[in-house]
Amino acid sequence: KTALACTDKAKTAQFAQRLCRRLIPAKQGTAAGSEWIRFLGGITPKGIITFNGTVGCEVSKKIIISDPYGSASDIIMNRIREHALKNGCKIITVKNPFLPSLITDHIIIPELDIAFVTENEYNSFESGERRIHARRFISYSSLHLSRERIKFNNKTAKELLSSACKTLERAKAMHDELEKYYIKAMDFTVLNSYADEFAKKFVE
């Protein structure tokens, strides 16, 4: 919220609209597009893991929004999503694993062979492709006044994420220990037979 308050929202939205007009063709009289919601990262027992290489498996071109604070990039992603769906595109919307209800990390449009991706501390892309730096939309003089709050927030967020990963690590260790006991009692022949019969019901 602190960074968003220092972001020129109108300027960011105008830029996003120009970007959409240039890279996502308008289709008159077309039906609305469709959307698949996906994740490419998450909090795991092994730490924060992302699979951003998946983007390159879907498209060959990326527009990278480099935004350490996530304020401008989210405005841009929302505009891109709206424009693409309005013009009948089939898109893959990649949500932020920490705040999925609020933040979109990437928009992938396979039919146009292009993806719009957010780059930050947890999402990095080794690519020489065009980078749009969010600093052009942010008032750093205003942001500087809140530097101590931002520093505190970042530190707290990292500690919470680290704690979450450690909690999952302990939970997995407990699960693995319990599994040593109950796996010996499993009749996998019966289980596999049941799974086959259950699957046949859907095939038929």
Q: Note whether 60 and 97 are same-domain residues.
A: yes
Residue 193: other Cβ atoms inside 10 A: 11
List per-residue pLDDT tens for the chain, 204 residues long. 677 888 889 999 999 999 999 999 988 777 889 999 999 999 999 999 999 999 999 999 999 999 988 889 999 999 999 999 999 999 999 999 999 999 999 999 999 999 999 999 888 887 777 899 988 898 877 777 788 888 898 899 999 999 999 999 999 999 999 998 888 888 889 999 999 999 988 876
Q: Note whether 91 and 14 are same-domain residues.
A: yes
Report the distance separating Cα 34 and Cα 86, nearest Å: 9
Say which DSSP state 112 is in: G
Report the distance separating Cα 154 and Cα 98, nearest Å: 14
pLDDT of residue 153: 87
pLDDT of residue 149: 84
Which residue is listed with tokens 């998450």? 42
pLDDT of residue 144: 77
Q: Note whether 100 and 197 are same-domain residues.
A: no
- Evaluate whether 51 touches 91 at the Cβ level (below 8 Å): no
Q: Note whether 10 and 98 are same-domain residues.
A: yes
Which residue is listed with tokens 């960074």? 3
Q: Which domain range does residue 66 map to?
A: 2-139
Domain count, the chain: 2
Choose the final residue of a domain: 90, 123, 139. 139
Enter the pTM of the model.
Answer: 0.83
Report the distance separating Cα 34 and Cα 143, nearest Å: 37
Report the distance separating Cα 31 and Cα 26, nearest Å: 12
Q: Note whether 102 and 173 are same-domain residues.
A: no
